[in-house]
């Protein structure tokens, strides 16, 4: 079974500063990795995903993440944050299968990003 660890429950950062949200996963087989964002009282929105290929993945809103297989990490980064980035961010993992179809997604406990003006 796969699992995801987000060690930082809250990350405060000043506006226009860079930010990194950490995510580590555990799995005995290949995985797909995702980052979702959740704004207050809303559902989750996909920021980016890693399926295969380049380990640096670019997503929406200027976010990017790097898949590091040796360190089993998939940290999310943004070079300059904006007030509107204040939200909760969830890392998620699913097994990489050779065929399409259903793959159970396991979510981390989330990191609240607070951008300070």
Partner 1 sequence: DTGVSQDPRHKITKRGQNVTFRCDPISEHNRLYWYRQTLGQGPEFLTYFQNEAQLEKSRLLSDRFSAERPKGSFSTLEIQRTEQGDSAMYLCASSGGDRLSIGDNEQFFGPGTRLTVL
Per CB under 8 A, residues contacting partner 1 are 4, 9, 32, 34, 36, 41-46, 49, 51-52, 90, 92, 94, 96-110
CB of 24 to partner 1, least distance (A): 14
How do strand 111-116 and strand 10-14 relate by DSSP bridges? parallel
Q: Which residues of 35-53 are buried (b: 16+ CB within 10 A; e: fewer)?
A: bbbeeeeeebeebbbbeee
At 61 the three-state DSSP class reads helix
CA angle 67, 29, 94 (to 5 degrees): 65
| Structure token pair of residue 22 | 């950490």
Q: Which CB atom, from 15 or from 64, has the smaller least distance to partner 1? A: 64
CB of 73 to partner 1, least distance (A): 17
CB of 117 to partner 1, least distance (A): 25
CA 78 to chain centre: 12
CB of 32 to partner 1, least distance (A): 6
Q: Which CB atom, from 5 or from 72, has the smaller least distance to partner 1? A: 5
Q: Which CB atom, from 53 or from 117, has the smaller least distance to partner 1? A: 53
């Amino acid at each position: 079974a796969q699992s995801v660890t987000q060690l930082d429950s809250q990350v405060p950062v000043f506006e226009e500063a860079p930010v990194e949200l950490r995510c580590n996963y555990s799995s005995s087989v290949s995985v797909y990795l995702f980052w979702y964002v959740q704004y207050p009282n809303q559902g989750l929105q996909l920021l980016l995903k890693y399926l295969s290929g380049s380990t640096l993945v670019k997503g929406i809103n200027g976010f990017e993440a790097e898949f590091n297989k040796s360190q089993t990490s998939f940290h999310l980064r943004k070079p300059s944050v904006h007030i509107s980035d204040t939200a909760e961010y969830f890392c998620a993992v699913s097994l990489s299968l050779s065929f399409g179809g259903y793959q159970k997604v396991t979510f981390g406990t989330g990191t609240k990003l607070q951008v300070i003006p």
